[in-house]
Amino acid sequence: MGVLSRFMPALAAGAVVTLAGCGPGVQPVRPLPGAGTARLQPIYDLMVTYPDTTIIISGLTYRGLDFDLEVTFDDATLRDDDPGFEAQARILSVLAGGAPRAFEAPQPIAIRGTLAAGVVATGLFGPIHVGNAALLLDLTGTLQDGARRIAGEASLYGIPDPGSFQAVKRRRYLVAGTDAQGPIGKVAVVQVRYDSRITVEPDLELTSSDPVARVEDGRPFIVNRFTFDNVQGLDPLGPFTTLFEHSTDSLSNPHDLVVLPPGAPGTGAGGAGFAFVTRYGAAFNDVAVLDLAGGAIVDRIDLTPYALNRDRLPRADQALLHDGLIYVTLQDADASFAEFMNGRIAVIDPVLRQVVDVIDLSGQNPFESLSFSPATGLIYVGLAGLFPGFARPAPVLSGGIETVDPATRTAGGLLVDDDALGGNVSAVAVHSATRAYCVVSDASFHNYVKAFDPTTGDVLGTIFGSSGQIATIEADGDGFLLVADTSFYEPRILIFNAESGAPVAALPARLPPFSFAILTRSLP
């Protein structure tokens, strides 16, 4: 058992940069990249424990040391060919003898480590001053559970007592909220530490009142839709403040976007890349190619030839990038929204910048729902049918949930008919090969989140119902389902266990939540 006291070799706080990595000749660690080229970084929360180590504080001896750390990895250094990585650690709390203790440490602490064959090694980092001791930590662990967790051994420089650590990937969600009455929306960020400690950072940035949150190419965006007509880029490393607002042209009513990953054909030079933006407005009817570096629209992919309604308006809505192709849903509705043809999907080659296929769907009005599930290998489309209004006294159940096989680019017909669900379908979220969810609105405008089997189409029941609007749902890919309860008097962000449908948390929202995007990043 080691005792840490004033006689342990002390290390000056100013030495942290050269000590990170713990070896002769180690160069200073560069800071994380700036906002101009930044992508979201993987963040892991680490609990490090040395149960047999004793430490002396103010003349008293305490047994057991515990550290709660936040480690942010530089994504660029993780995805190159070099096994070395850079990261920054923040010390959130230190326990000695099971009780919180005062500590001093540079914030953040630079780390230079390695990641190879699923093994993470930090090298020595610190110092963390607790009592009269200056502590240097060294962690080596393996990725587990699809990189959701890291577990392994921990040591302290100069102390023989063994320790251990457990790391959990931090979940983060971007929430676009709206006042629904005026021009103002705001973004918030939800963070989940250790899968259970949930906090909300509200009012981080202003948006329009018709905002759609997206994360593309590791970067957060807001698509500001009807009358606002722009794409808003947010800083992924700071407090999500606005980096740019690029116009998509007046009355273009952009609905969605995708961005090709770095190095993909058609991305162009300079690193910023191009956004492919669906423009719903009747004067546009296309997918605009937006240069994210300067904001110019450099090309457009006309979708008018693929509309079958009398006014030839395709009404391009959702966009999905999968296996190098862009899938775009077409609502195919006339100028007065009185005539809806069956929905279609235009398949676009982003390198050629042209439509290469059209997939006909079995229902009407693909509505704000298009997603690919790795668990089933299928694309899921929510078909709303026709909502009440425009001389329709009741909803027309002419939709449901349809699948598309991207390998053959063929539709599989309705997996779930909206008659079985009891209303118009909007958002769809697939958790696994046996569990998925959708939002259903019935004839009395009551809204439900219903579960279904994405393989068989069996309806599995209702997990939530509301007399207010449920704007959207989103599966986070790590076992949670997010639900936007936009009740005007009590707006909430609801979190459910996606496997069981059991409620996890209800988070009050400053503004009714309208759209979610998943900010969580994993180690590769």
Give tens-digit pLDDT for 42-98: 999 999 999 999 999 999 999 999 999 999 999 999 988 999 999 999 999 999 999
- Strand-pair partners of 223: 212, 231
Whether 235 and 241 have beta carbons less than 8 Å apart is answered as yes
**pLDDT tens per residue across span 379-394:** 999 999 988 765 566 7
CATH number for the segment(s) 3-169: 2.40.128.120
Residue 427: phi and psi, rounded to 5, are -70, 145
The whole-number pLDDT of residue 17 equals 29
Q: Which two tokens stand for residue 55?
A: 């430490």
- pLDDT at position 351 over 70: yes
pLDDT in tens, 61-73: 999 999 999 999 9
- CA angle, corner 380, sides to 369 and 299, nearest 5? 60
How does the average pLDDT of the chain come out, rounded? 91
Cβ atoms 499, 432 nearer than 8 A: yes
**DSSP letter assigned to residue 282:** T
Indicate the pTM of the whole model.
Answer: 0.91
In 331-486, alpha helices (H): 418-421
Residue 424: C-alpha distances to residues 237, 390, 428, 442, 510 (Å): 39, 16, 12, 6, 28
pLDDT at 391: 56
pLDDT given for residue 269 in this prediction: 57
pLDDT of residue 252: 98
Residue 37 has pLDDT above 70, yes or no: no
Q: Is the pLDDT higher at 108 or at 394? A: 108
Residue pair 228/208 in contact by the 8 Å Cβ criterion: yes
Q: How far is CA 19 from the centre of its chain?
A: 34
Q: Does the pLDDT of residue 463 top 90, yes or no? A: yes
Please give the Cα distance from 353 to 302 (Å, whole number): 10
- Answer yes or no: is pLDDT of 24 > 80: no
Q: Indicate the residue type of 46.
A: L
Residue pair 257/270 in contact by the 8 Å Cβ criterion: no
pLDDT in tens, 117-166: 999 999 999 999 999 899 999 999 999 999 999 999 999 999 999 999 99
Does 16 score more than 50 pLDDT? Answer: no
Lowest mean pLDDT across 21-30, 292-301, 314-323, 422-431: 21-30
pLDDT for the residue 170:
98
Say if residue 430's pLDDT is above 60. Answer: yes
Q: Which residue has the tokens 């759609």?
A: 212
Count of alpha carbons within 13 angstroms of residue 88, beta-carbon side: 15
Q: Residue 345's closest CA among 335, 356, 337, 334?
A: 356
Specify whether the CB–CB gap between 231 and 221 falls below 8 A.
Answer: yes
Model confidence at 34: pLDDT above 60: no
- For residue 372, what are its two tokens? 């690919």
The DSSP-derived string for 486-518 is --SSS-EEEEEETTT--EEEEEE-SS-EEEEEE
